[in-house]
Amino acid sequence: MMATTHAFVGLLLAVAVNAVAPEFGLVAAIAGLAGGTFPDLDLAAVHRKTLHFPVWYSVATVPAAVAALVSPSPMTVGVAVFLAAAAIHSASDALGGGLELRPWEATSTRAVYIHPLKRWVEPRRYIRYDGAPEDFAVGAVFAVPGLLVFDGLVRQLVVGGLLVSFGYTVIRKQLPRITPERFR
DSSP secondary structure, 125-180, as one string: -SS-STT-HHHHHHHHHHHHHHHHH--HHHHHHHHHHHHHHHHHHHHGGGHHHHS-
Q: In this predicted structure, what is the pLDDT of residue 177? A: 85
Domain ranges of the chain: 3-171
Contact 24, 74 (CB under 8 A): yes
Q: In this predicted structure, what is the pLDDT of residue 180? A: 61
d(CA 95, CA 39): 15
Across the strands, what pairs with 121?
112
The helix (H) or strand (E) run that includes residue 71 is none
Question: Tens-of-pLDDT digits for all 184 residues of the chain?
Answer: 999 999 999 999 999 999 999 999 999 999 999 999 999 999 888 889 999 999 999 999 999 999 999 999 999 999 999 999 999 999 999 999 998 889 899 999 999 999 999 999 999 999 999 999 999 999 999 999 999 999 999 999 999 999 999 999 999 999 888 876 544 4
**DSSP 8-state code for residue 39:** G
Contact 33, 11 (CB under 8 A): yes
Q: In this predicted structure, what is the pLDDT of residue 183? A: 45
Q: What is the dihedral of CA 157, 163, 165, 170, to 10 degrees?
A: -170
d(CA 49, CA 120): 9
Q: What is the CA radius of gyration of the chain?
A: 17
d(CA 164, CA 97): 20
